[in-house]
Amino acid sequence: MSASAQRRHEAGDSSLSARDLAILEFERTWWHHAGAKEAAIRAEFSLSAARYYQVLNAVIDSPDAVRHDPMLVGRLQRARDARTRARAARAFTTPTSGDDPGRPRSEEPTD
């Protein structure tokens, strides 16, 4: 946790838990950790990657998190929303044999 985040937490300026604040700090600086992000998550929080992302999603939906660091939380929410849209787009495509599975199927024949 950064010194300024620690001071805000100790002053009672946030109802976020110490773990929530640590997760936000980790997301702000995770590329400074050696190795893959999943390994750093396990080392830092003793959580599986799946559980970490469940907790992270709950944290970034919190109004307290938005008040704590609006730029970071907004970026994380936009990234999550983009991943959700990409998954939905893949789920709603129906490839046929010979079609590129990454592209939606055309309704009209091309002559």
Q: What pLDDT shows up at residue 1?
A: 47
Q: What pLDDT shows up at residue 30?
A: 84
Question: Stretch 81-99: mean pLDDT, rounded?
Answer: 80
Locate the domains of the chain by residue range: 3-89
Predicted model pTM: 0.68
12-71 pLDDT per residue, tens = 556 899 999 999 999 999 877 667 899 999 999 999 999 999 999 999 999 999 999 999
Cα distance between residue 5 and residue 71, in whole Å: 14
Q: How many CB atoms lie within 10 A of CB 59?
A: 21
Q: What pLDDT shows up at residue 91?
A: 85
